[in-house]
Structure 1
Amino acid sequence: MNNNIDIATLPEGHPVSIYYQEREIIIGLCEELSAADAEAELQKYTNIFNQLQTIEKRFARKENQLFPFLEKKGWNGPSQGMWSFHDNLREQFRLIQYYLKTNNPKKINVNTPFLVDGIYRLMQVEETVLFPNALDLLDEKDWIIMRIGEEEIGWMLPEFPIPFPNLEYIHPSEDFTKREMTFSLENTSHYDEGYMTVEQVNLLFKTMPLDLTYVDENDKVIFYNRGEERVFPRSSGIIGREVKFCHPPKSVGTVLKILEEFRKGTKNESSFWINYKERLIYIRYFAVRDVDLKYKGVIEMSQDITDIKKIEGEKRLLDWD
């Protein structure tokens, strides 16, 4: 393969340096997989194949970390062409996985070269186009922020790579670095994982196919979402009302028991499912706690799962036509 990058010039822990560390692992696994005869040594083949499947972490880092940074610089090609390449390889993995499950080693041997060749071609494009251009377009600050996000996805490496830059590691949940936003922050509020306006928040709750009700630590209803099709009727009159008056008398005892255990900290979740108007309804209660684990109320979530329970197999194609 061609290599237009002098790896020695990259600092240890740099995202591109890690991609090249993974490259050696991938080449070794591809060689082993190509040499393994699924008909004669199926278990050996399976073990190698399962290791190679961890290449999904590499795909996920590119799609969710590298590509967005390149988009900000105006280069959208990888987000389109290379992502499609990833999906083609995912299909190859799924096909061989199917033949492993159905014990068809002959088909496995036929399809393995297509998978291996596809991986080699992808890495060639990475090394001759993607990584050189990415190094030209992105600065050190971009790579540092990118690397922090990669911690959540993971790598194919046997050991956790050293930090980049080689400073104290900051977990993404504790990373409060201010970044340039590619959208307007006017009239927005800052949430743990982003920014939204009041209108966007309302639209989010209205669009969610769930009934949500929030009861605060004083057992008062302070919020519910107004979806298009609610499972149970709600009106604005319940806001500020004690939750024990918002349920039928026969279920109040159960609700109060849940609140009691949540408040004591002995439980954090409770689930029920009932038949209601010929539909199967899934009802869940979740304790809400702050960073100090202090009880701050409960979320009640109801969802019609009648059609969800009928789902079988997979659906990967759009069937709007």
Structure 2
Amino acid sequence: MNEVSNTTALPEGHPVSVYFQEKEIINTLLTELAAVNPEDELQKYTNIFNQLHTIEKRFARKENQLFPFLELKGWVGPSQGMWSFHDNLREQFKILRKHIDARDFEKIKENAPYLINGVYRLLDVEETVLFPNALDILTEKDWITMREGEEEIGWMLSQPPSPYPAVAYVHPSEDFTVREMPFSLENTSHYDEGHMTVEQVNLLFRTLPLDLTYVDENDKVIFYNRGEERVFPRSAGIIGREVKFCHPLKSVGTVLKILEEFRKGTKSESSFWINFKDRLIYIRYFAVRDADKNYKGVIEMSQDITDIKKIEGEKRLLDWE
């Protein structure tokens, strides 16, 4: 496999051509970062670091656009190996950011080479392995579709790259292209994004770690999800019942006030939190409106956040064993 060292053969705006435009920027930033002494010019060093950190957009495009297309063609290596490479660099960025914020110049000088060398190594693997293989494997249609998705993520460039192909960009919200799906659409329904069967929808609602109740525009309960561990008890008897009869008398006035303001359009969300059986419960109401802003009811969401409130720091490792 030959290296993709010359991209002049690629049309302007082609995803790989754009990756090479970014590579020039990255190489410049790496050179500048290595040349600046943070102790003498901290602000300049920080500005260069911040610009280099926008490489996250490059990572996101590869992970969410390029890699999935390669997976569909049977090449899963980038998704498994290079994604881990990205995560290692993300950690290096995090470490260096911490030292910059702390003005720990010794630690900055100690850790910066790991980040710089890691990015150089990644660029080399991209140029010699990833992009040449991707150009061989993927079709023109794949690249065009990929580029459409990249618009939502963005680039490291100061200005968006040229359209590819050379036609006006269609925003995903206005894209009604019928595509071949890599899974069966039999017995599915199409939602705003994606397709699911009735069984899959039911499993989704049943698995959600929160209680959902849908009250329609006539104040009638039309749905609730049946999770394994509900915050508040529910039974099928509430379906079709007026919502004001589904709450204790002391809270009915508040519920009706919420419905009134939602219906008028003056409010769209209301939140409460209570102690219930030694647990902290977060209760939220959301107005449901259609595309024309017509009131279509309200969603009540209840969630036990007792354990969520205790979370501190970070957890990045699986601790099942």
Please give the TM-score of this superposition, normalised by the length of structure 1.
0.96
Q: Is the 8 A contact 2:3 2:129 kept in 1?
A: no
Cα RMSD of the aligned pairs, angstroms, is 1.3
Q: Flag structure 2 segments of 5+ consecutive residues without an equivalent.
A: none
Partner of 2:87: 87
Partner of 2:24: 24
Partner of 1:238: 238
**Separation in 2, partners of 1:87, 1:110:** 20
Deviation of 1:47 (Å):
1.4
**Separation in 2, partners of 1:168, 1:263:** 40
The 5-angstrom pairing of residues 161-172 of structure 1 reads 161-172=161-172
Query: Structure 2 counterpart of 1:28, which letter?
Result: T
Please give the TM-score of this superposition, normalised by the length of structure 2.
0.96
Q: Flag structure 1 segments of 5+ consecutive residues without an equivalent.
A: none
Could you report, residue by residue, the CA deviation over 1:210-269 in whole angstroms, capped at 9, with x for unpaired residues? 111111111111111001111111111111111111111111111111111111111111
Deviation of 1:5 (Å):
4.7
Query: Structure 2 counterpart of 1:19, which letter?
Result: Y
The 5-angstrom pairing of residues 245-256 of structure 1 reads 245-256=245-256
1:51 is the counterpart of 2:51: yes
Q: Is the 8 A contact 1:281 1:306 kept in 2?
A: yes
1:300 is the counterpart of 2:294: no
Partner of 1:259: 259
Could you report, residue by residue, the CA deviation over 1:188-214 in whole angstroms, capped at 9, with x for unpaired residues? 111111111111111111111011111
Partner of 2:37: 37
Partner of 2:132: 132
**Separation in 1, partners of 2:102, 2:312:** 18
The 5-angstrom pairing of residues 151-162 of structure 1 reads 151-162=151-162
- The verdict on how the C-alpha distance between 1:261 and 1:162 changes in structure 2, with shifts beyond 3 A counting, is farther
Deviation of 1:289 (Å):
1.1
**Separation in 2, partners of 1:263, 1:28:** 56
Deviation of 1:6 (Å):
3.2
Partner of 1:117: 117
Partner of 2:278: 278
1:192 is the counterpart of 2:192: yes
Structure 1 residue ranges, 4+ long, deviating more than 6 angstroms after superposition: none
Deviation of 1:4 (Å):
2.3
Q: Is the 8 A contact 2:223 2:239 kept in 1?
A: yes
**Separation in 1, partners of 2:256, 2:166:** 52
**Separation in 1, partners of 2:217, 2:163:** 41
Q: Is the 8 A contact 2:55 2:156 kept in 1?
A: yes
Q: Is the 8 A contact 1:38 1:106 kept in 2?
A: no
Could you report, residue by residue, the CA deviation over 1:48-100 in whole angstroms, capped at 9, with x for unpaired residues? 11111110110011001000000111111111111111111111111112212
**Separation in 2, partners of 1:57, 1:5:** 22
Partner of 1:4: 4
Q: Is the 8 A contact 1:99 1:107 kept in 2?
A: yes
**Separation in 2, partners of 1:180, 1:24:** 36
**Separation in 1, partners of 2:103, 2:236:** 59
**Separation in 2, partners of 1:256, 1:160:** 49
Number of residues paired by the alignment?
320
